Amino acid sequence: EAGVAQSPRYKIIEKRQSVAFWCNPISGHATLYWYQQILGQGPKLLIQFQNNGVVDDSQLPKDRFSAERLKGVDSTLKIQPAKLEDSAVYLCASSLNSFASAIYEQYFGPGTRLTVT
Amino acid sequence: ELKVEQNPLFLSMQEGKNYTIYCNYSTTSDRLYWYRQDPGKSLESLFVLLSNGAVKQEGRLMASLDTKARLSTLHITAAVHDLSATYFCAVGDSNYQLIWGAGTKLIIKP
């Protein structure tokens, strides 16, 4: 099966500019996650969707970050305006989250490396 | 609040040696995951451990889970250079989220 797709793979912008990332999860996966990973650290959850609804966005800096998953499939994450500290890798993951499987394993996309100058 | 601690955070070892990475977590969970991350790459799932006493092996890597001690270990046998990477453990919580350890950067020297 096809994995989680993300684009772009790399993006360089100046501070105060805006940027958007796209994610297409594995087909049939109801749950989608966006993570921020700063170099040398573990992933930090930004937002979790279940189908097209937000389950948890408590760690999303809502003054500058927004995310949507309108049709319950692909998703976009936007930053506007960007700050220097937003330089990181943005990872998208998806999960089947079936009660029948009870595994809830997350599969990750290749990530988007964002550099803010 | 569920917290996950990994140690060591950095490990440099010689090829052929054995070593263990430890993952402790603070509250009850029935799901423990190990991931591998190569430099500049994404996260690759290695093992999913779902029950007390679970043991899984893939090549030179073996993971185990002791839910009573809230401890998982990732054991490396006869290390080879290709296993150099950062290894993360993550614990599943009740919201289907993963609580991540800080990662163990493993360097294996020839």
3-class SS at B82? helix
CA dist., res. A26 & res. A13, Å (int): 29
B95 pLDDT band (50/70/90 cuts)? confident
For chain B, the average pLDDT equals 93
A18 pLDDT band (50/70/90 cuts)? very high
Per-residue pLDDT, A90: 98
Residues of B in contact with A102 (CB under 8 A): 50
Q: What are the tens digits of pLDDT across the range A84-115?
A: 999 999 999 999 875 555 677 899 999 999 99
Query: From the candidates A92, A105, A112, which should be mutated to test the interface with B, based on the most B CB atoms within 10 A?
Result: A105
* Residue B61 near residue A14 (C-beta atoms within 8 A): no
Q: Interface of chain A against chain B, CB under 8 Å?
A: 31, 33, 41-43, 45, 48, 55-56, 91, 93, 95, 97, 102-111, 113
Q: What is the mean pLDDT of residues A1-28?
A: 95
Residue A27 CB neighbour total at 10 angstroms: 9
Cβ contact, residue pair A104, B92, below 8 Å: yes
* Residue A23 near residue A74 (C-beta atoms within 8 A): yes
Write down the residue that tokens 């402790």 correspond to: B24
CA dist., res. A56 & res. A50, Å (int): 9
CA dist., res. A52 & res. A110, Å (int): 22
The H-or-E segment that residue B33 falls in is strand B32-37
Q: Touching check for B41 and chain A: CB below 8 Å?
A: yes
Cβ contact, residue pair B95, A55, below 8 Å: yes
Per-residue pLDDT, A102: 62
Per-residue pLDDT, A105: 87
Cβ contact, residue pair B41, A45, below 8 Å: no
Distance of CA A4 to the CA centre of its chain: 11
Cβ contact, residue pair B50, A106, below 8 Å: no
Residues of A in contact with B95 (CB under 8 A): 48, 55-56
Q: Which residue of B has its CA nearest to A99?
A: B96
Token reading at A103 = 């595994």
